[in-house]
Amino acid sequence: MATDSPSHDLAQTVQEISERVTLLVHEEIELAKAEVSGKISKLLRGIVIGAAAGIFVIVGLLFLLHGMAWLAWYALPVGSSSFFWGFFVVAGLLFILGGISGYLAAKFFKDSTPPVPEMAIDEAGKIKRTLMRRKKKK
């Protein structure tokens, strides 16, 4: 019976270690998923705001070109009217909105580096170093 006890303790210790390693791996996977989903949401936000910036700039360019057409019409000796100023004000506002949106999109893109689970990798490195230290002590 004395010989069964150390082997039983060893089997129980191996089982506990296996369960703990399984739990650690599961937690590391969950941490990696959380990190990647956060970075993907920032990336999607940047894409949406970038698309809005592009739309504002395109519409602003259309208004600017339309205003230039009215200005050209005004400069010709066919009549006098000041319709173009409204187009220029609207185009200016759209360009301002496009600039703000572009700035925000660039900021979100900069913050959303490729989705790498850095915290999970760091934790895995800590676990590895801890296990290596314990292995060296034995």
In the chain, the number of structural domains is 1
Q: What is the pLDDT of residue 58?
A: 93
Mean pLDDT, 10 residues at a time, over the chain (138 residues)? Answer: 66 85 85 85 90 92 80 65 68 86 88 71 78 72
DSSP 82: -
- pLDDT score of 86: 65
Q: What local confidence, expressed as pLDDT, does residue 2 receive?
A: 47
Measure Cα distances from 30 to 8, 89, 118, 123 in Å.
33, 51, 13, 12
CA-CA distance, 118 to 55, in Å (whole number)?
35
